[in-house]
């Protein structure tokens, strides 16, 4: 299968290219090498189509002879401030619309999209009295007072965090999350309009070799790994009790390749979302401890700082992906963190 991998020079995209090659497919790699992701001086590696998905003419050329598209290109992370909003919307949503229009024109009807768990906002919570509830964004005064756990919106009781399924209502809490949700809606609209088949893999916190260094656009595992590389202690926000699902990049890449291989058998005109996580939740504090221990120190410090817009707990149930596509994660938490502590970040 010949597969256009957009964002193929990125962290996850590069592992998808490796996975496709190992499975005997032919990846076509496209990436604009965004300065926010690669710095200002990045040189395109040999074989890379150094193109932007927002450029319809370029995408038309890149789609020649292609059977399926694996769309990873996006501007990621929380960004610096709201001034980044137009760039996020442009890369992620205009980019997806241009790509989908070119696919429709070229008759390429298979899309696997890099989705994200950020579309859910807060994870699932159960109140002892009110069942599953949906707490809104946390108040700044609570966070300043060190009250990090969301409470039941009806009775104020402490809540038990659980796993979100794909049918949980969406609640994007920042610009990036909004653009990731819009990508899914565009993909669903494209599938209906063209008879195409689209799958979104809603990745959880992906980590592993070639993760970008710490920037306002990077994930928490990269921030901790970069601190350790400088000989500094990872700084853990809140009280370290935030629950996440850290999933290894090779497992995510395998999910992408598996979805590409299976998508042709799905009904025409459909869009399906799959949570893509390890199924083994850990706290951010545990992740920092595991990474620091594997690195040989220094130990993390818990700072009580917070970022408005961060959610407290978000962990997913990836049973649908296991059941329908036969995928299962192979890299365990301790093993993956030890490898990540020893491996390099992307320059």
Rule CB under 6 A: say whether 300 interacts with ligand NAD: no
CA dist 22 and 145 (Å) reads 51
Say how many C-beta atoms besides its own lie within 10 A of residue 197's C-beta: 23
Judged by CB under 6 A, the residue of 3, 12, 259, 321 near ligand NAD is 12
Q: Is 184 near ligand NAD (CB under 6 A)?
A: no
Q: Is 176 a catalytic residue?
A: yes
Q: Does 97 bind ligand NAD (CB under 6 A)?
A: no
Q: At what angle do helices 95-106 and 175-194 cross, to 10 degrees?
A: 20
CB 271 within 8 A of CB 198: yes
Q: Considering Cα of 314, then 181, then 54, then 64, what sign does the dihedral take?
A: positive
By beta-carbon proximity to Zn ion, the closer residue of 155 and 342 is: 155
Task: Please measure the distance between the N-terminal and C-terminal CA atoms of the chain and give it in whole angstroms.
Answer: 31
- The answer to the question of residue 72 lying near ligand NAD (CB under 6 A) is yes
From the list ligand NAD, Zn ion, none, partner contacted by residue 7 (C-beta under 5 to 8 A by kind): ligand NAD
Pick 133 or 204: Cβ nearer ligand NAD: 204
52 belongs to the binding site for ligand NAD (CB under 6 A): yes
Spatial separation of the C-alpha atoms in residues 272 and 263, rounded to whole Å: 10
Single out the segment in contact with ligand NAD by CB under 6 A; choices: 47-55, 62-70, 78-86, 120-128: 47-55
Q: What is the 8-class DSSP label of residue 294?
A: H
Q: For the chain, how are helix, strand and coil distributed in percent, rounded to 5?
A: 40, 20, 40
Positions 128 through 187 that interact with Zn ion (CB under 5 A): 129-130, 152, 154-155, 157
From ligand NAD, Zn ion, none, interface partner of 154 (C-beta below 5 to 8 A by class):
Zn ion
Q: Which is nearer to Zn ion, 134 or 307 (CB)?
A: 134
Interface map 185-214 toward ligand NAD (x if CB under 6 A): ------------------x-xx-----x--
Active-site pick, 176, 203, 207, 217: 176
DSSP code at position 342:
H
228 scored as a contact of ligand NAD (CB under 6 A): no
Closest-approach residue to ligand NAD (CB): 10
What is the secondary structure of 124-163 as a DSSP string?
Answer: EEEETTTEEE---SPPHHHHHTT--S-B-TTT--B-EEEE
Closest distance to ligand NAD from the beta carbon of 212 (Å): 5
Question: Which ranges of the chain would DSSP assign to H, the alpha helix?
Answer: 11-22, 35-38, 56-62, 85-88, 95-106, 140-144, 175-194, 220-229, 249-262, 284-295, 319-325, 333-342
The number of residues that bind ligand NAD (CB under 6 A) is 31
For the bound state, the minimum distance from the C-beta of residue 31 to ligand NAD, rounded and expressed in Å, comes to 5
How many chain residues are in contact with Zn ion, going by CB under 5 A?
7
Helix axes 284-295, 220-229, angle to 10 degrees: 30
Q: Which of residues 241-280 bind ligand NAD (CB under 6 A)?
A: none
Binding partner at 147 among Zn ion, ligand NAD, none, C-beta below 5 to 8 Å by kind:
none
Q: d(Cα 208, Cα 88) in Å, to the nearest integer?
A: 24
10 binds ligand NAD (CB under 6 A): yes
- Pick one of 5, 29, 31, 148: the residue that binds ligand NAD (CB under 6 A): 31
**Torsion sign (Cα): 34, 7, 235, 150:** positive
Contacts to Zn ion by CB under 5 A? 127, 129-130, 152, 154-155, 157
Contacts to ligand NAD by CB under 6 A? 6-7, 9-13, 31-34, 37-38, 52-54, 72-76, 91, 95, 114, 116, 180, 203, 205-206, 212, 219
Which sequence positions are flagged as catalytic?
Answer: 176
């Amino acid at each position: 299968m010949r597969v256009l991998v957009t964002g193929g020079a990125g962290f996850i995209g590069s592992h998808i290219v490796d996975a496709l090659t190992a499975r005997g497919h032919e990846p076509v790699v496209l990436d604009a090498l965004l300065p926010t992701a690669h710095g200002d001086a990045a040189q395109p590696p040999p074989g890379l189509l150094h193109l932007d998905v927002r450029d319809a003419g370029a995408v038309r050329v890149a789609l020649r002879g292609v059977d399926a598209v694996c769309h990873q290109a996006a501007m990621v992370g929380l960004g610096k401030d709201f001034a980044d909003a137009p760039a996020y919307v442009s890369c992620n949503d205009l980019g997806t619309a241009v790509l989908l229009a070119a696919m429709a024109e070229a008759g390429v009807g298979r899309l696997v999209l890099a989705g994200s768990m950020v579309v859910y906002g807060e994870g699932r919570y159960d109140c002892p009295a009110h069942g599953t509830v949906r707490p809104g964004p946390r108040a700044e005064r609570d966070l300043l007072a060190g009250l990090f756990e969301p409470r039941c919106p009806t009775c104020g009781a402490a809540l038990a965090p659980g796993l979100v399924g794909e049918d949980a209502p969406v609640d994007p809490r920042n610009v990036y999350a909004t653009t990731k949700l819009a990508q899914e809606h565009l993909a669903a609209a494209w599938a209906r309009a063209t008879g195409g088949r689209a799958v979104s893999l809603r990745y959880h916190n992906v980590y592993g070799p070639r993760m970008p260094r710490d920037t306002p656009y990077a994930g928490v595992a990269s921030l901790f790994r970069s601190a350790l590389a400088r000989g500094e202690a990872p700084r853990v926000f809140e009280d370290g009790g935030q629950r996440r699902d850290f999933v290894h990049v090779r497992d995510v890449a395998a999910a992408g390749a598996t979805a590409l291989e299976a998508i042709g058998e799905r009904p025409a005109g459909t869009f399906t979302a799959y949570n893509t996580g390890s199924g083994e939740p850990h706290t951010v504090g545990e992740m920092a401890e595991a990474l620091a221990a594997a690195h040989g120190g220094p130990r993390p410090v818990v700072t009580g700082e917070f970022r408005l817009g961060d959610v407290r707990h978000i962990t997913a149930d990836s049973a649908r992906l296991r059941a329908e596509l036969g995928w299962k994660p192979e890299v365990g938490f301790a093993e993956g963190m030890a490898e990540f502590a020893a491996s390099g970040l992307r320059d």
